[in-house]
Chains A and B, each alone.
Chain A
C-alpha cells in the first residue's frame, strides 16, 4: 500500500497542475489563452503553475510571435507523459486498494 503513495508525484498535488497535464495529454499543444479558458484561472496563477511544471521538465514551452504579439505554446514532454501516466496508475491503485480494505 505504501508503494502506491510514493508513486504519486508531488508536482501533481495541485488541482491546477493536474488540470494542465490532463488538458495537454489530449491536445498536442495549446497556447496560454486556451489553457486559461479551459482551466478558468487567473494569468498569474496559471503562469506560476506552468513555471513549476516547466522546471520539472514535464512540459515544453515554445515562444513565438503572431502579428507582433507574443504567443507561447505549451506541450507535454515525453517525460511529463510518463510521469502523468504513472500518477494516473497510482491513483487507480490507491482507490482500488482502499475499496478492498
Chain B
C-alpha cells in the first residue's frame, strides 16, 4: 500500500502536467519591455521623421508607404525578439518552445491578427488612414484575449486594456498615434516589468 505522501505526490504530478501542457510559460518579460521600446521608437520616428499624425479618418500623407514599412519593421523586430527570448527561456528550463501549446497559442493569436491586418490594409487603400491605429489596438487586444486561454491570464487583462485604448482612439482620432504609442509602447513596458518581477525573479 502506498504512503500518504505518494498520493500527494500523484496529485502534484497531475496538477503540474495539466499546467505544463495547457499553458505556454516561456514568454519573457524582457520581450514585452523591448517590444514596448521599439513601439515608442517607431511612433516617435513616424511623427518626427515623416510628420505622420492622422487627425481625421480620411488622412493623406505623402510618407504613408514609409510609415507602413516602419510599422512592419517594428513588428518584425518585436517578433524576432519575442521568439528569441522565449526560445532562450524554454531552453534554460529544458523545455521546447515549439510544442502543442505554443502552436495553439500562435493559431489563436493569428486569426484575429490576420483578419485585422487585412482589414487595415483595405482601409488604407481607401484612404481611411485615421482608422489604422485604433484598429491595430482593437485587433491586437482581441488576439491577446484569445491567447490568454493558453498562457498566463495576465495576458487577457492586457488585451482588454488594448481594446479599451483602441475604442477610445476610434472616438478621438486626433489622438490615434498617441494612444497607439500608449498601447503598444507603455502597456507593453508595464506588462514586461510586471512579468519580470512576478515570474522571473
A residues within 8 Å of B by Cβ?
Answer: 5, 15, 18-19, 22-23, 25-27, 30-31, 34, 37-39, 88, 91-92, 94-95, 98-99
B residues within 8 Å of A by Cβ?
Answer: 1, 4, 7-8, 10-11, 13-15, 17-18, 20-22, 96, 99-100
Q: Is the CB of B4 within 8 A of A98?
A: yes
Name 14 A/B residue pairs within 8 A (Cβ), A-sorted: A5-B1, A18-B10, A22-B13, A22-B18, A26-B21, A30-B21, A30-B100, A34-B99, A37-B99, A38-B100, A88-B11, A95-B4, A95-B11, A98-B4
* B residues less than 8 Å from A37 (CB atoms): 96, 99
18 more CB-based (< 8 A) A-B contacts, given A5-B1, A38-B21? A15-B13, A18-B10, A22-B13, A22-B15, A22-B17, A22-B18, A23-B17, A25-B18, A30-B21, A34-B100, A37-B99, A38-B17, A92-B11, A94-B4, A94-B7, A95-B4, A95-B8, A99-B4
- From DSSP, what is the main secondary structure of chain A's interface residues? helix
Q: How far is the CA of A39 from the CA of B17 in the complex (A)?
A: 8
Q: How far is the CA of A39 from the CA of B96 in the complex (A)?
A: 12
* Nearest chain A CB to B190 CB, angstrom units: 30
* Nearest chain A CB to B148 CB, angstrom units: 15
**Given known A23-B21, A26-B22, A38-B21, contact A88–B100 (CB-CB < 8 A):** no
Q: How far is the CA of A23 from the CA of B21 in the complex (A)?
A: 6
Q: Is the CB of B14 within 8 A of A18?
A: yes
* B residues less than 8 Å from A38 (CB atoms): 17, 20-21, 99-100
Q: How far is the CA of A22 from the CA of B11 in the complex (A)?
A: 10
What is the chain B residue whose CB lies nearest that of A28?
A: B104
